[in-house]
Structure 1
Amino acid sequence: MATPRPSSRLRLYWLTDPSDRGLAVMLLTPLVLLVGLVVVYPVARLFRTSLYNHALTSGMPPEFVGFENFLLIAEDPVFWRVLGSTAIITAVTVPGALLMGLAMALMANLPFRRKWPVRLSLLIPWALPLAFAGLIFAWFFHSEYGVVNDLLRRFGLQPVIWFNSPFWSMAAVCLTIIWKTSSFMALILLAGLQTIPRSLYEAADVDGAGRWRQFREITLPLLRPAIVVALIFRTITALQTFDIPYTMTQGGPGDATATLAMYIHENTISFLDLGYGSALAVVMFLLSMLMTAAYLRMIRARG
């Protein structure tokens, strides 16, 4: 019988010993190339563009200016206002979506005879396009024929002109975002609830622990990893909020509900200032990474 060639023996060894480092490299190389193509290259190109004065309306070629765009951001009052609006949306909608999503997940995890209609209902807000949800709630909060003001009149309360006030406009936007994103949180938390063994609750029942104590000492500690994952995704998407405030208020009144993503869109699409818009996008990317690092550090500290 012929002796296998070295290359054939190497391929056979990779197939028979999955722990071999060479097999790991072979399997991970396509993934690394894909991530580099889809993530690393666009981010690197974004950083590079942020170092140039590249305004298409000027008709001039891109000019390297270093960190001048970032210095302009620090002196831009509009940037600080939209950053404040983005921070408000993040601070209000992330905890709101978490609490509402947790309640929905607990309800969907109850022992119904037919669970699929309840769990299917969780998908409806999540499946709606963001812009469509914004248009629906813009009609809900309309000052003349909106559903919300109609309900206020029926209860004898004074209707609110929602989109003429910075406070009420922000409230309407935040309520819409919470409704839209809570189902996403609920799906992640429901998956986490499914991993908790029922035997723990049965043992707690035997020991005389009530529902609240079971929730506090069993459900919440074992659900913490799913909660952190949900918070990471929800916080990043909150920092990048665009569709709902854009379709509901277009950032108004004034720029009271304008977000950082909307300001990036305005500079890059409306003003065609690719250098300044890229610098703003870099700031948003760094904020997202900082928030993610904070969550991961919190996990390690508690671990």
Structure 2
Amino acid sequence: MLSKLRDPTEKTLAVLLLAPAFLLLLLIVVYPIGKLVYNSLFDVDKTGLFLGLTNYVDVVQDPLFWNATKNTLLITLITVPGALIVGLGLAMLANLPFKRKWPVRLSLLLPWALPLSFAGLIFAWFFHTEYGVVNDVLSRLGLQTEPTSWLLKPNWAFAAICLTIIWKTSSFMALILLAGLQMIPKSLYEAAEVDGASRWQQFWEITIPMLMPSIIVALIFRTITALQTFDIPYTMTKGGPGEATETLAMLIHKYTIDYSSISFGSTLAVFMFVISMFVTGFYLRHIGKNAS
């Protein structure tokens, strides 16, 4: 055994080098997920007895779960493509040959670096009924005579939250896409210009295909965080009016913290984990395969 460690083979060396990473993976990924599943199967709040799938049946029969899941998926479907489109535009703008590029790229970092809860508070003030910026601007332009209660109406509150999330996350998409844009050889564009390709043709035939790996990475990270949306809706509306803007993460927080039901909250978290893995697998299996 000692001789193998002193003069290891390639296989032994690979095991030794990968062992710390494997142990770290067990510690920060496998153990928390296993603990989550364990809590969902046992009554950890009171008796500690084995409940089996009782919590899972209760979750499926809970209308609040379906409402929160619908809101979460709708936020994901709206904000992920929105952030991608806005982020792509910002990335292409930042990639232009400015003499001084750092102010443009710094402006991309600021929304991303801003805490989520702080962004929610800022936009909650923007959409405030009495002294919000949005109502003030609309009144000055003569587009409304009375202030609109943006965050007190379900549809408008949902739209305001989606707009806030797009503003906050588009800079993250832009940073990833900017790195991808800088990896595209300029010779491809020069050759396309010689062949008479327009800017629009260059964008669809060169930029998008070459940028697709970066787009896939950005979509995976953004989608997973969208499915876990909590801070912005919580600080803007607390899930209201009613449960119109309550997300799955907010429902988990409600059951776990407010109702002190760790077992049921863990079951909801398992459902969120399964949804996240399903969406990520979809990206890798379908969209990622087409990009390779």
Q: TM-score, normalised by structure 2?
A: 0.96
| RMSD, matched Cα | 1.3
Matched, 1:34 2:24: yes
Partner of residue 254 from structure 1, selected from 242, 247, 271: 242
In the TM superposition, what are the counterparts of 1:62-77 in structure 2 within 5 Å? Answer: 62-77=48-63
CA distance in 2, matches of 1:9, 1:36: 27
Which residue identity lines up with residue 37 of structure 2 in the other structure?
F
Structure 1 residues 120 and 238: alpha-carbon distance in aligned structure 2, compared to 1, 3 A threshold = same
Which residue identity lines up with residue 52 of structure 1 in the other structure?
F
Partner of residue 85 from structure 1, selected from 71, 75, 85: 71
The alpha carbon displacement at 1:37 in A equals 0.4
Number of paired residues? 288
Larger Rg: 1
Query: What's 1:226 paired with?
Result: 214
CA distance in 2, matches of 1:271, 1:150: 39
- After superposition, give the CA deviation of every residue in 1:252-282 in whole Å (9 maximum; x if it has no partner): 0000000000000000011111110000000
Which residue identity lines up with residue 221 of structure 1 in the other structure?
P
CA distance in 1, matches of 2:87, 2:64: 33
Partner of residue 194 from structure 2, selected from 196, 200, 206: 206
Which residue identity lines up with residue 143 of structure 2 in the other structure?
L
- Partner of 2:246, secondary structure, is coil
CA distance in 1, matches of 2:204, 2:57: 48
Which residue identity lines up with residue 95 of structure 1 in the other structure?
P
The alpha carbon displacement at 1:6 in A equals 4.0
CA distance in 1, matches of 2:224, 2:72: 11
CA distance in 2, matches of 1:63, 1:7: 47
CA distance in 2, matches of 1:64, 1:234: 36
CA distance in 2, matches of 1:91, 1:176: 15
Query: What's 2:153 paired with?
Result: 165
Partner of residue 100 from structure 1, selected from 74, 82, 86: 86
- Partner of 1:107, secondary structure, is helix
Query: What's 2:173 paired with?
Result: 185
- After superposition, give the CA deviation of every residue in 1:227-263 in whole Å (9 maximum; x if it has no partner): 0110000110000000000000000000000000000
- After superposition, give the CA deviation of every residue in 1:149-186 in whole Å (9 maximum; x if it has no partner): 11111111124210111000000000000000000000
Q: TM-score, normalised by structure 1?
A: 0.92
- Partner of 1:29, secondary structure, is helix
Which residue identity lines up with residue 217 of structure 1 in the other structure?
E
- Partner of 2:7, secondary structure, is helix
The alpha carbon displacement at 1:91 in A equals 0.8
Partner of residue 97 from structure 2, selected from 81, 92, 111: 111
Which residue identity lines up with residue 116 of structure 2 in the other structure?
L
Query: What's 1:17 paired with?
Result: none
Give the conservation status (yes or no) of the 8 Å contact 2:65–2:248. yes
Matched, 1:175 2:175: no
